[in-house]
């Protein structure tokens, strides 16, 4: 009987370990950098705006996600075959960061921007 209890306990412990490991992966993914969306303001918006400027869009880098940022971002997304929804998720973040922010050579853009805009790496 004691052996059966230990066996059941081992099976339960194993199941719990698998569940915790699975949840840890989900929790890690959920703790990623938030998407940048219309109406927001802050450093993430500034990095998006700077990436768009580096890509040739004539917009002000003011950290306010308004109409000009939306127009430039949706055009940028459309021209690169991305979903032109005006939201910066990992695919748009990758296009901005690896295509225009990182190659700029600007240390702030290289080191800081991937901490405030989502990328897949």
72 touches 87 (CB < 8 A): no
Q: CA dist 69 to 96, 112, 115, Å?
A: 13, 20, 20
- Average pLDDT over the chain reads 82
pLDDT at residue 113 tops 50:
yes
Query: The CATH number of 43-115 is which of 1.10.760, 1.10.101, 3.40.50, 1.10.390?
Result: 1.10.101
Domains of the chain, residue spans:
1-31, 43-115
118 closest CA partner among 95, 85, 100: 95
Strand partners, 64: 41
Share of the chain above pLDDT 90, in %: 73
Asked if the model's pLDDT at residue 19 lies above 60, the reply is no
Contact 60, 41 (CB under 8 A): no
Q: In whole angstroms, how large is the CA radius of gyration of the chain?
A: 21
Residue 73 has pLDDT above 60, yes or no: yes
């Amino acid at each position: 009987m004691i052996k059966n209890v230990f066996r059941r306990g081992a099976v339960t412990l194993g199941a719990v370990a698998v569940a915790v490991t699975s949840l840890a992966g989900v929790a890690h993914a959920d703790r990623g950098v938030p998407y940048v969306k219309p109406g927001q303001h802050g450093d993430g918006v500034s990095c998006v705006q700077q990436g768009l400027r580096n890509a040739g869009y004539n917009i002000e880098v003011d950290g306010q996600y308004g109409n000009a940022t939306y127009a430039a971002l949706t055009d940028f997304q459309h021209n690169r075959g991305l979903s032109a929804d005006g939201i910066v998720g990992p695919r748009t973040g990758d296009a901005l960061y690896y295509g225009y922010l990182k190659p700029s050579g600007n240390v702030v853009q290289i080191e800081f921007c991937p901490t405030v805009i989502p990328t897949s790496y």
